[in-house]
Amino acid sequence: MRPILLFLLLALPVASADGKLPLKPLPKGKVAMVIQPHHDDHTTDYGMGGLIARFVDEGYDVYYVRASNDEKDGPHGYPRNDMVNYREAVAAAKVLGMKKVISLNWRNDYMNPIPLNELRNQIILLIRKYKPDVVIGHNPWEHYQKNPDHRNVGRAMAEAWWMAGLDNVLPEHKLLGMEPHQAWYLYGKARLDWGLGQRPNIAVELNAEQVRRKQTAYETHRNVYANPASARAYKAALARENLHVPEWENIDDQTAAVMMEEWHMDWISRQRGAQAGVRYAEDYYFLDEFDYLPGLQDYLAREVKRR
Ligand SMILES: [Zn+2]
């Protein structure tokens, strides 16, 4: 029996009678590839820093592909934003335990007119080079995604996930010694703070240490998050309502900003955990090699038993 099928049999997500989201163990494998447009997409509150930390903890080598140059994210002008955001992406990837950041450097927020085939071909090449068992990124089918980089990179990623395993796609890669490679598993995330997002089909449980690393990685992106200005803005808004946060008395704005981000990350990790009946989790739209055979999945979910 192929290991991939064995994993499926042992780890079928079973919809629980109480309506909670099924908890899915990680697949057995060695390599995961996170494919996202931006420097910070791997650590954001709506996914996926906890999942990455857990893959690392379970022995995976994890690579981060940053498709854009992030020139528009931050206050420093295009060249410096690109440099600072790349540096912070590398530092955050290290916090989570990732191996490497690979930048494709397409222009930030200008991804609508770029040739989708070219972006897809770059990702196929990376999948064939690094041979991931798992690909992680934005769900290209999520609703109301208004960021063009998220839409286009998600779409190129999903197409490449499928096409990298096909013999007749980019056969010239064989001249470079690269063979077709099928990554069997896809974890898609969505921004649920925008419109409908997606309907997740699994939850991944996190421990407190994985949530802490996710928080730290997020705060590492100081060019855009957890800076003193954000704390000052919140303090001013509260003061207008004659409110204050006791924990923020006698601490500087930088510390207050970090504290605020940690509260938010803890809160959202608990929200996701509550969906699955555990303390901390993230949720995803998960696909595997049998996603086109839902009848088989239902049959296996009903009939397969552990010995
Ligand atoms: Zn992004």
Give the pLDDT means over successive 10-residue stretches in the chain (307 positions): 40 58 95 95 84 98 96 92 94 97 94 94 98 96 88 96 96 96 94 79 96 93 86 91 90 91 91 96 90 77 79
What is the structure's pLDDT at 193? 67
207 CA distance to ligand 1 centroid (A)? Answer: 25
pLDDT of amino acid 160: 97
**Ligand 1 centroid – CA 62 distance (Å):** 19
How far apart CA 226 and CA 218 sit, in angstroms, is 8
Paired tokens of 194: 């925008």
C-alpha 41 to ligand 1 mean position (Å): 5
What spacing in Å lies between the alpha carbon of 188 and ligand 1's midpoint?
14
The pairing of strands 202-206 and 280-287 is: antiparallel
Residues within 5 Å of ion ligand 1, judged at the Cβ atom: 38, 41
| Domain coordinates in residue numbering, the chain | 3-225+280-292
DSSP character string of 229-297: HHHHHHHHHHHHTT---GGGTTS-HHHHHHHHHHHHHHHHHHHHHHHHTSSEEEEEEEE-TTTT-HHHH
pTM: 0.89
Tokens of 141: 């089918």
CA of 303 to the centre of ligand 1 (A): 41
**Measured in angstroms, how far is the CA atom of residue 171 from the centroid of ligand 1?**
32
CA of 71 to the centre of ligand 1 (A): 12
How far CA 174 is from CA of 102, 125, 130, in Å, comes to 22, 11, 14
Write the CA distances from 218 to 43, 168, 287, 303, integer angstroms: 5, 40, 26, 42
**Which pLDDT does position 4 carry in this prediction?**
43
Q: How far is the centre of ligand 1, averaged over its atoms, from the C-alpha of 131 (Å)?
A: 24
Cα dihedral 134, 135, 138, 142 sign: negative
* 243 alpha carbon – ligand 1 mean position (Å): 33
Centroid of ligand 1 to alpha carbon of 154 (angstroms): 11
Assign a CATH topology to domain 3-225+280-292. Answer: Rossmann fold (3.40.50)
**Cβ neighbours around 61 below 10 Å, total:** 18
